[in-house]
């Protein structure tokens, strides 16, 4: 055509669709949390590889055809080196999900199109885009992202870890107190201290409803523990309370029960009063729950850090325990309800001692756990290239 002859290039226009600024930080956060991010896209391999390097996605870029040509065994062997798969078809995405699952990974897949639906369905967690996503993708996914932002996925992981962590904190303090009551009443009967009359029903309800419940509720609404997004993912089949943790909780419950029985005996023998012994044991158990909460809140971190008092509502719960214990022993109304008597300053001091000892033992054990963890972590030496 005549119009297509003797043309002169006067301009060259380039267009780029840059990733969102927050995505790079989100990928780095995911990496610290032990989460491997891979890119699977319909773009050209060179383009996808350049974007991956910009975002900090590790591994080489290959095409979907190259990935499809690998046998399952080859794919499993090489998948650790692959960070980007470009020019993909729907079956390539499904294969990637299946290969990763064969390695024992928990796989989350994101997508928005109809061709993403099979992989979203095959993944452990399919995440569809809520804005750009098709109805087919949303129907195949287990989760719909309302803002189509990858950083929101990483933020949701952090929130999920916090909820799980707080549930564990709540269960720990409940389990310790269950162990404590069982062992305390059993020990009272075996050693003929007070038999089944160790505590009255009202006193048991005091510990359960007015001491453990307020502290446990505030632990359940706690802020995220320090370093929660630097932990490696837990095994999918791990119990919410591990066997090792049960042993620790049993030891704590046994110590609390033994302390209560000793104080009961001191009050009954040294002060010649069943009521004094019962009151001392009850007050000591109330105060020990403060020190117990300080221990179980961060299972491996020392309590001597600023974050120990980072939850104001939990601090208020601690103050209530102290104030409530004073009300229970020093006011006529509460004495009549709970069958308690006033205590002398020295008796109050005796009630505090077991809690301090419990805190000290917990911190020493956590120091041992931290030391063992450091010893098991191999040193990484960078070699020159």
Is there a contact between 94 and 122 (Cβ–Cβ < 8 Å)?
yes
Q: Is the pLDDT of residue 139 over 60?
A: yes
- CATH assignment, 21-153: 3.40.50.1000
Q: What is the DSSP letter of 4?
A: G
Dihedral pair phi/psi, residue 173, rounded to 5°: -70, -35
Confidence of residue 383 (pLDDT cuts 50, 70, 90): very low
Highest-scoring range by mean pLDDT, 136-145, 231-240, 370-379? 136-145
Share above pLDDT 70 across residues of the chain, in percent, rounded to a whole number: 97
C-alpha to C-alpha distance for 286 and 54, rounded to whole angstroms: 55
Look over the chain and give the mean of its residue pLDDT values, rounded to a whole number.
91
Is there a contact between 209 and 329 (Cβ–Cβ < 8 Å)?
no
Strand order in the sheet with 108-111: 108-111, 125-129, 143-145
C-alpha to C-alpha distance for 38 and 361, rounded to whole angstroms: 44
Average pLDDT over residues 132-153: 93
Q: Is the pLDDT of residue 381 over 80?
A: no
Give alpha helix (H) positions in the chain. Answer: 21-32, 45-55, 64-69, 72-78, 90-102, 117-122, 135-140, 150-190, 201-205, 213-220, 243-269, 274-297, 312-330, 332-338, 345-376
**Distance from chain centroid for Cα 67:** 36
- Tokens in use for 77? 């062997």
In which element (H, E) is residue 110 found? strand 108-111
Q: Give residue for tokens 């009272």.
A: 188
Instruction: Specify the pLDDT at position 384.
Output: 33
* Number of residues in the chain: 385
Dihedral pair phi/psi, residue 144, rounded to 5°: -120, 125
CATH superfamily ID and name for 163-230+240-373: Calcium-transporting ATPase, transmembrane domain (1.20.1110.10)
Average pLDDT over residues 34-63: 92
Instruction: Specify the pLDDT at position 376.
Output: 65
| pTM for this entry | 0.85
C-alpha to C-alpha distance for 286 and 280, rounded to whole angstroms: 10
Confidence of residue 126 (pLDDT cuts 50, 70, 90): very high
The residue extents of the domains of the chain are: 21-153, 163-230+240-373
């Amino acid at each position: 055509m005549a119009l297509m002859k003797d043309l002169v290039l006067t301009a060259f226009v380039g267009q780029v669709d840059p990733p969102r600024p927050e995505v790079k930080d989100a990928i780095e956060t995911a990496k610290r949390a032990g989460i491997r991010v891979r890119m699977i896209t319909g773009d050209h391999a060179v383009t996808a590889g350049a974007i991956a390097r910009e975002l900090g996605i590790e591994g080489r870029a290959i095409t979907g055809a190259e990935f499809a040509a690998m046998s399952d065994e080859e794919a499993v062997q090489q998948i650790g080196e692959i960070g980007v798969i470009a020019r993909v078809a729907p079956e390539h995405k499904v294969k990637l999900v299946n290969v990763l699952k064969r390695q024992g990974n928990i796989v989350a897949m994101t997508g928005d199109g109809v061709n993403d639906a099979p992989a979203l369905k095959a993944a452990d967690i399919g995440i569809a885009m809520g804005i750009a996503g098709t109805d087919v993708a949303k129907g195949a996914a287990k989760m719909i992202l309302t803002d189509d932002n990858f950083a929101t996925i990483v933020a949701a992981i952090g929130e999920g870890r916090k909820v799980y962590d707080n549930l564990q904190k709540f269960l720990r303090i409940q389990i310790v107190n269950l162990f404590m009551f069982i062992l305390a009443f059993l020990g009272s009967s075996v050693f003929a201290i007070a038999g089944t009359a160790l505590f009255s029903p009202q006193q048991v309800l005091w510990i359960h409803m007015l001491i453990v419940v307020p502290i446990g509720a505030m632990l359940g609404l706690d802020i995220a523990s320090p370093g929660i997004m630097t932990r490696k993912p837990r095994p999918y089949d791990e119990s919410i309370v591990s066997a090792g943790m049960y042993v620790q909780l049993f030891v704590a419950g046994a110590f609390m029960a033994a302390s209560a029985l000793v104080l009961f005996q001191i009050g009954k023998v040294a002060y010649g009063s069943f009521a004094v012994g019962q009151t001392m044991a009850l007050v000591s158990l109330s105060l020990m729950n403060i020190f117990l909460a300080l221990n179980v809140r961060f299972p491996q971190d020392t309590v001597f850090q600023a974050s120990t008092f980072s939850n104001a509502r939990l601090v208020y719960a601690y103050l209530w325990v102290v104030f409530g214990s004073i009300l229970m022993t020093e006011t006529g109304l509460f004495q009549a309800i709970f069958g308690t008597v006033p205590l002398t300053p020295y008796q109050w001091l005796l009630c505090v001692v077991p809690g301090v000892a419990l805190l000290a033992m917990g911190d020493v054990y956590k120091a041992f756990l931290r030391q063992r963890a450091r010893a098991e972590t191999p040193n990484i030496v960078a070699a020159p290239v």
